[in-house]
A and B are shown apart, each in its own frame.
Chain A
Amino acid sequence: MKKTGTQLILDALKAEGVKRVFGYPGGCVIPLFDEFLNHKEIEVVRVRHEQAAAHAADGYARVSGKAAVVVATSGPGATNVITGIATAALDSIPMVIITGQVRQSVIGTNAFQEVNTIGISRPVTKHNYLVRKIENIPRIIKEAFFIAQSGRPGPVLIDIPVDVQTSFTSEVLDTETIRHGYKPVSKIREKDIKQAWAMIRHATRPLIYAGGGVVLANSSKELIQFAETTGIPVATTLLGLGCIPGDHPLSLGMLGMHGHYVANTAMARTDLVITLGARFDDRVTGKVETFLAQSKIIHVDIDPSVISKVKDAHLGIVGSVRDALNKFNKIAKRLDIAPWQQELELTQQEHPLVDYSGKKMAENALRPEYIIKLFSEKTKGDAVVVTDVGQHQMFVALYYQFRNPRSLLTSGGLGTMGFCLPAAIGASFHRPRKPVIAFSGDGGFQMNVQELATVKRYNLPIVIVVLNNSNLGMVKQWQDFFWKKRNSSTIFENNPDFVKVAEAYGIEAYRCGNKEELPDLVDKALKSKKPILLEFVIDPDAYVYPMIPPNEDIRNIIEGGDA
């Protein structure tokens, strides 16, 4: 039987087990969207902006571990998804993006809604394809999923000209996928594990530096087992949060610019760091010259290009973090590092996070830290928490005590404002048996606010929290600290009424600016089985502490405590 290109696309998506796509229609994908009507097994989640489609697919992938699909039209549709693709790329999130393209005969002529999608997306995709022959569709889609989900995951884009979508084929289909050069995972050599263990055994102040790779490799259990057997403390990156419970005795919390004091101190004091699926981002290292200057480095990563990129590793191990941990767990023994553990415990006690339940709270000004802490307690650290980018993101990272991997969804690498609401939509579609809480600032919330319509349309039970400080808090903090308080363009004098905005979309909403009403409102929201928005009017001058100024080290940490 002759099939059209769009039928082949749908067949291939079904073969990959795709249940839903996130998309937005347009001229060059009309045939594809039409075909979706013939395949009820695949739900089309139609969002209100292509960027949101990509973030939604991203959110879905972060909770499920599987690549989700984005569909957008050519030209502006394709350019709109780029931010979402780049966001996924920098955090190694699998994604398959299908874009429509103008018909082949006019490609390259500046035809209506034509952009060079392949060229524009190349630097932000793991791989991309321009489909020129209909018979290649099955192979390309199969390959795209394989590439997106294997090795170090990432986004793969498939650009399909509209004439390829509508043409018929009766030819033998190309389904054979052979990519000679693509070797996603290397097997870890026992010899390397032995050598690593010898280094670990001789260390007096060993430290595990766990990144997003631990989460991506679903190896949180293995990590905890390794830490508990050996007694080695664990510091995580922003994307690694949740791979060990925040209240675990061996958890030191988050590293980096706004990381926990004890985590950063441990990093400065360690004599052997075991890096697992992390990439020495500059937000973690600060000043590279002094970072780990006294320490040996073992670096395990699935992507060989990450090893020794920023800091030379004394031992680089290429392979899956999970494979490495399993091998370590076979030989690991308790280490004699009590003085080190005690030292860190003391540091922890001497430098806790600032507790804002004190003075400022007495004045009844709502502190963001307090709000996050309350959500953390009321959900017992077991919600799916999505953030936008800025101060609130760091408050969440510091004050929400994550208990599980895949429970913090945040744009770590690209730091994309506007990520939160659509990513929460994607997460909510995965139907976790946990509440989905979306924390945004008033700035980022307005970067994809139109998605309230999507939330409403699918009646997604997301708790949308807007922490409204009437400014672009994180940038303002930098201006206040390092630019003589010259608040250039960071104050929002005329924010909309967020409660009314939500209500206009048909979403129940409440505003709260004092601590008395707070607990009841949080309870109400967490019990709500439908969308709800809470706007908290918070202290406009709340700063995120601690802070290591950019390109500095722990010696220059600002601990805060102005409460």
Chain B
Amino acid sequence: MRHVISIVVEDQSGALARIVELFTSRGYNLESICSGEAEEAGIHRLTLVTEGDDRKIKHIIRLLNNIVYVIEVTHLDPTESISQELMLMKIKINPKIRGQVLQLIEAYGGIVIEMNPDTVSFRVLGRASKLDGVTQTFREFKIIEMARTGEAAIHK
């Protein structure tokens, strides 16, 4: 099952390493990590997305709570949280497909950031599942480069 975990943590060196190690040392992959300042200065909020056995994830969450720098851990319920992710993508275009690509970008609510005769760079915002769909669609063209921030999530 997919798990979204939100962690409030002191902005201290070593904090992120301890968090990540709890997953990696058990063979879990982190699908995404999104980290940045939280409501209070010096405090960060991390959103982790991982895939795994419910029982083991529950145990990891308890272990996360044991990390000295960790202030709060929440196992986010998708129905009770808001999450968004940013994706940047650069596509190879030519005059023939240019119109079609721009239309698709617009259809996804994306915004073009840079346009050249043979490439277009744009951003799309949305839930991770939506961005998976966007990626799927644009695989029909040539994706030169893309990057995703990972989901950031807060309570509703």
Query: Hey, which bits of chain A sit against chain B, CB under 8 A?
Result: 118-119, 122-123, 126-130, 147, 152, 179-182, 303-305, 307-309
Contact = CB atoms under 8 A, between A and B. Distances in A.
A305 B65 contact: yes
Contact of A181 (B13, B14, B63, B67): B67
Contacts of B17: 119, 122
A543 to B, nearest CB: 35
B65 A304 contact: yes
A182 B68 contact: yes
B4 to A, nearest CB: 20
From A126, A128, A309, name the one whose CB has the most chain B CB atoms within 10 angstroms.
Answer: A309
Nearest to A128: B14
Contacts of B58: 308
B25 interface: yes
B10 interface: yes
A130 B14 CA distance: 9
B66 interface: yes
Contacts of A126: 68
B71 A181 contact: yes
Contacts of B63: 305
Interface string B32-48: 00000000000100000
A182 B66 CA distance: 7
B51 interface: no
B70 interface: yes
B8 to A, nearest CB: 8
B21 A123 contact: yes
A186 to B, nearest CB: 11
B68 A122 contact: no
Given A122-B21, A123-B21, A181-B72, A305 B14 contact: no
A181 B66 CA distance: 9
B9 interface: yes
B10 A180 contact: yes
Nearest to A154: B66
A83 B117 CA distance: 61
B21 A181 contact: no
Given A118-B14, A305-B59, A181 B25 contact: no
B13 A130 contact: yes
Contacts of A123: 21, 25
For the complex of A and B, the 7 pairs showing the least CB-CB separation, nearest first, are: A305-B62, A181-B71, A127-B68, A305-B63, A181-B70, A182-B68, A180-B71
B17 to A, nearest CB: 6
A126 B67 CA distance: 8
A127 B67 CA distance: 8
A181 B7 CA distance: 11
Chain A binding surface SS class:
loop
11 contacts: A119-B17, A126-B68, A129-B14, A147-B68, A180-B71, A181-B67, A181-B69, A181-B72, A305-B66, A308-B58, A308-B59
Nearest to A305: B62
Given A179-B10, A181-B8, A305-B62, 13 more contacts: A122-B21, A126-B68, A147-B68, A179-B68, A181-B9, A181-B68, A182-B68, A303-B66, A305-B63, A305-B66, A307-B62, A308-B58, A308-B59
Nearest to B72: A181
B3 interface: no
Nearest to B59: A309
A132 to B, nearest CB: 8
Contacts of B67: 181
Contacts of A182: 68
Contacts of B66: 152, 303-305
Nearest to A156: B68
B44 to A, nearest CB: 12
Contacts of B13: 130
Interface in B69-92: 69-72
A116 to B, nearest CB: 11
B18 interface: yes
A553 to B, nearest CB: 21
Nearest to A312: B55
A126 B69 CA distance: 11
A284 B62 CA distance: 22
Nearest to A180: B71
A182 B59 CA distance: 18
Nearest to B9: A181
A122 B18 contact: yes
Contacts of B25: 123
B15 to A, nearest CB: 10
A309 B43 CA distance: 29
A307 B59 CA distance: 9
Contacts of B14: 118, 122, 128-130
B117 to A, nearest CB: 44
